[in-house]
Amino acid sequence: MILTLEHGAVRELRLNRPPVNALSPELIAALLEAIRTAPRDGRRALLLSGLPGMFSAGLDVPLLLKLDRPAMDALWREFYALLGALACSPIPIAAAITGHAPAGGTVLALFCDHRIAAEGDWRMGLSEVQVGLPLPPVILAALRRLVGPRHAERMAVRGLLITPAEAAACGLVDELAPADQVADRGLKWCEGLLALPRTAMEITRRQARADLVAEFARQTAQEVAEVSRWWWSDETQKALHAMVEQLAMKKKSVR
């Protein structure tokens, strides 16, 4: 589910769960382990990328709706651990957003150091509200950190999905690149960072990301439990099942 590509001191983790890189429990666990392992293997930076035209469609809702409460509780704990690993990584992480990245796809990128998005006709954003899920506080804080309070409110409350150009304009992504160059640009960003004097860069990076790290230094167990309760609410379950039904109808019409 993850292709590991070595670029010297930079390791690329390419999501590879076709057709849409949806985040299953197994993929979340594998990505968490890969992020934790890279520094121990001596890598000095990570590049997180996806399939051409598809970074990640977010949580695999059709699969998750089949899980019972204990399994979903475990998934939310693991997902928060993944976000914490991205936010608190001792080495820089660039996200090469290769295409569509709704909801959880954008969430992954939020907690990275730098985001390069492919140019093109696709969408990204935090669409959780559209499927009946309140945006978790730690994710809203990460969004606000990038785009500022007003843009964060506008995007999160409406669950907006926006174009790459709109994402660049509001600061959700740092730069745009042609689709066939987005991973290379991410690699160059990592290499440029690693070319700087190491101690000065690492200390300054820690200082600059201290606010994001602090989100995970606090007790998040209560927030995770609240998110799990939201998942099982009647409103959320109704919206999620309706979304899955719509997706199934679209697949049938394509056939």
Res 115: pLDDT: 98
User: What pLDDT score was predicted for residue 180?
Assistant: 96
* pLDDT computed for residue 254 by the predictor: 63
Q: Find all residues with CB under 8 Å of 193, minimum gap 6, and list them.
A: 45, 92, 201
Return the amino acid letter for 181.
Answer: Q
Token look-up 């200082």 returns: 207
Tens of pLDDT, residues 152-188: 999 999 999 999 999 999 999 999 999 999 999 999 9
> Which tokens in the block code for residue 43?
């890598």
Domain annotation for the chain: domains and CATH numbers: 2-217 (3.90.226.10)
Extended beta strands in the chain, E state:
2-7, 10-15, 45-49, 53-54, 93-97, 99-102, 114-118, 124-125, 175-177
Instruction: Reduce the DSSP state of residue 167 to 3 states and report it.
Output: helix
Please return the burial class of 205, using the count of CB atoms within 10 Å of its CB with bins 0-12, 13-18 and 19+. middle
> What pLDDT, on the 0 to 100 scale, is given for residue 253?
72
**Model pLDDT, residue 255:** 63
Residues of the chain with pLDDT under 50: none
